[in-house]
Chains A and B, each alone.
Chain A
Amino acid sequence: MVKDGGRILMVEDNPDHADLTIRALRRHNLQNEIDVVGDGADALDYLFGRDRYEGRRPEELPVLVLLDLKLPKVDGLEVLQALRGDPRTRVLPVVVLTSSNEERDIVASYHGGANSYIRKPVDFHEFTEAVGKLGLYWLLLNEPPPGVPEP
């Protein structure tokens, strides 16, 4: 069992996909707390401690953001832009996790400052593998930027 680390913020409007991703992480023994928000506006409120998330201290950033692209209200690329435009979240690790493999989405994500881009494979085994690897890499192997809490 891996020790509890920092939180993960998952921005995902499909509850099925959120559950399946959480399940995949747990199957790889990653026990980090996971907060799920259903759209881009909520994601920004969460990270900057606004509105519904007033009182959440912005300096307590998650160790990792899993970001879907196609989201209600504020889409994933706009969230990315807002995060990279704010000094508090400029270096926060963001992994785009999406079902799109459109080249323009991949290009736009990297240009927007995504740390990684992973397409959800339809095959569940592959998906579990992919999520496991990304969790292991970002939560255990990767040295986070200073200011982001140790996982």
Chain B
Amino acid sequence: MGDGGDGDLFHSAVVQAPVGMLVAGADGACELVNERWCELTGLPAAQSLGDGWRRAIHPADAAELADRWRSLLETGDPFEQRHRLCRPDGVVRWVRARARPLLDEEGRVHGYAGAFADITELNEREAELQVSEARLRGAMDTALDAFVTIDADGFVAEWNPQAEVVFGWSADEARGRRVDQLVMPERYRADHRAGLRRYLETGGTKYLARRIELEAMRRDGSEFPVELSVTPVETGGPVIFSAFIRDISERKRAERELRELTRDLERRVAERTTELRATVEELEAFSYSVSHDLRAPLHSIAGFAEALREDYGEGLDERAHDYLGRVRSATRRMGQLIDDLLALSQISRKPLERSTVDLSGLAGQVAAELREADPRRDVEIAVQGGLRAEADDALVRVVLENLLGNAWKFTSHQATARIQFEAADGGAFVVRDDGVGFDPAYADKLFGPFQRLHRQGEFEGTGVGLATVQRVVRRHAGEVWAESEPGEGAAFYFRLGPGPGAHS
């Protein structure tokens, strides 16, 4: 260390330097530190003198720094070293240290100076950047979408592994080549270049910052649909464009299949509807034919049998009159059969219109009609009040007419009778009578059309009534069943779906 003007200047420069400084004599022992050094190291100046300053070096870096320092003292070679300082309170700071010999006018070493610049924050930012880059790299490398960046002239800069898979070009092959020639069908290329130019001139293009669907090209020239989003990245330097590209061949295929399936389904529904309509029309034509054509010959048979009786009756004996009587009753019966059959088919064809139906009121009306038709009978008809159902008014009336009519009919051989209409368990309704009943062994035959459990002479009927009841109840998504023992009366239950319809 020299004295004098130069020495004063040097001393003042050291003291005021914005970096930590220490000055050692020719023997390497520290003679001076500045204030900044004390801040960096947490060591008072007095404790830094001699070899004291070495305590400030982070233990992990101490050996290396000591080597460099020794080498400086032996050879006079300056050095620069990044290392850590560790303060007594444990705070660690990164510094860039520079040390060199101090020479006098004759060029002889008369001391050494070390400067320590705090680069902790710089290092932290660098580390952060490295982590962020590594993270980004990882994301790009494992991305499910192809990720490609290009420079402002359209040359590929980045090409992730998925881009290799999607397009068939390796990253090494792709980098530095024009992206339009790599992945775009010929017809898009001019547009692409114009778009780049437009962006550079005006800062806008229709493709940026939204998802678009278009065709891309593989290495082998085959085309496939992709979804693409492009973002310009401006970092102060020249703009680059980054793009995520997703191969949507599968999705497109699925969409197409779905469309085809839907079309197919619609076509099949239309076909079935047409078939069904044809069937319904045939059924209607059949019913109409039954109504008209089956009745016509019957009319002739009945008419001419009667004409025979009227015009030639006087010449016929009793047996001939009996025969003509049988023809007449048989034709009447067949007429009834045709009517019942038509009624049954009309019940199937009529649209179901549900409303709240007053079953009790309806049963009362039917009972009154039965009494009116046969006033001599002594029958007690008990109808529970307040029974309602969500049902088709006209159809449910048919049910009650048949069930109450049957009860009336099958009690006709007794002096007095009792018929009840009331609610049963589970939202069902029941019509009970104390008439002749039926053998439960045949219960399953009751509801088939033209099925009868009684001989013609016993009770009138065509066997269509209960079939009609069953059809009405089924049209209401309900069920009908019966219980009886011969001579014990019968109970006919019906329940109308959906849900229980009875409210007491």
Contact = CB atoms under 8 A, between A and B. Distances in A.
A23 B303 CA distance: 10
B110 interface: no
B303 A99 contact: no
B300 interface: yes
B302 A100 contact: no
A80 B122 CA distance: 107
Q: How large is the interface on A (under 10, 10 to 19, 20 to 34, 35 or more residues)?
A: 10 to 19
B196 interface: no
A101 interface: yes
B305 interface: yes
Contacts of B291: 99-102
Contacts of A125: 306
Given A16-B300, A20-B300, A100-B288, A122 B306 contact: no
A132 B388 CA distance: 46
B58 interface: no
Contacts of B335: 122-123
A88 to B, nearest CB: 30
A16 B299 contact: yes
A69 B291 CA distance: 12
Interface in A60-94: 69-70
Interface string A1-42: 000000000000010110010010000000000000000000
A122 B292 contact: no
Contacts of A16: 299-300, 303-304
A83 B122 CA distance: 109
A119 to B, nearest CB: 9
Contact of A20 (B287, B293, B295, B299): B299
Interface in B331-380: 331-332, 334-335
A17 B306 contact: no
Contact of A17 (B287, B299, B334): B299
A96 B110 CA distance: 144
A23 to B, nearest CB: 6
A99 B288 contact: no
Contacts, number: 59
A129 B184 CA distance: 94
A127 interface: yes
Contacts of B293: 70
Interface residues of B, number: 21
A124 B303 contact: yes
Given A122-B331, A122-B335, A20 B292 contact: no
Interface string A89-131: 0000000001111100000000000000000101111011000
Given A16-B299, A122-B332, A122-B335, A23 B307 contact: yes
A123 B292 CA distance: 15
Contacts of A23: 303, 307
A55 B332 CA distance: 45
A127 to B, nearest CB: 7
Interface in B265-309: 287-288, 291-293, 295-296, 298-300, 302-307
Contacts of B292: 69-70, 98-100
Contacts of A100: 288, 291-292
Contact of A127 (B287, B303, B328): B303
B299 A127 contact: yes
Tell me which of A99, A122, A127, A128 has the highest count of chain B C-beta atoms within 10 A of its own C-beta: A122
Contacts of A98: 292
B297 to A, nearest CB: 8
Contact of B296 (A17, A124, A127, A128): A17
Tell me which of A17, A102, A124 has the highest count of chain B C-beta atoms within 10 A of its own C-beta: A124
Given A99-B292, A100-B292, A123 B332 contact: yes
B33 to A, nearest CB: 118
Contact of B288 (A102, A120, A127): A102
B332 to A, nearest CB: 6
A3 B48 CA distance: 158
Given A99-B291, A100-B292, A120 B306 contact: no
Contacts of A99: 291-292, 295-296, 299
Contacts of B305: 124
A14 B300 CA distance: 9
8 contacts: A20-B300, A20-B307, A99-B296, A100-B288, A102-B291, A122-B295, A122-B334, A123-B335
Given A99-B299, A124-B303, 12 more contacts: A14-B296, A16-B303, A20-B299, A20-B303, A20-B307, A99-B291, A99-B296, A102-B291, A123-B331, A123-B332, A123-B335, A124-B328
Interface of B: 287-288, 291-293, 295-296, 298-300, 302-307, 328, 331-332, 334-335
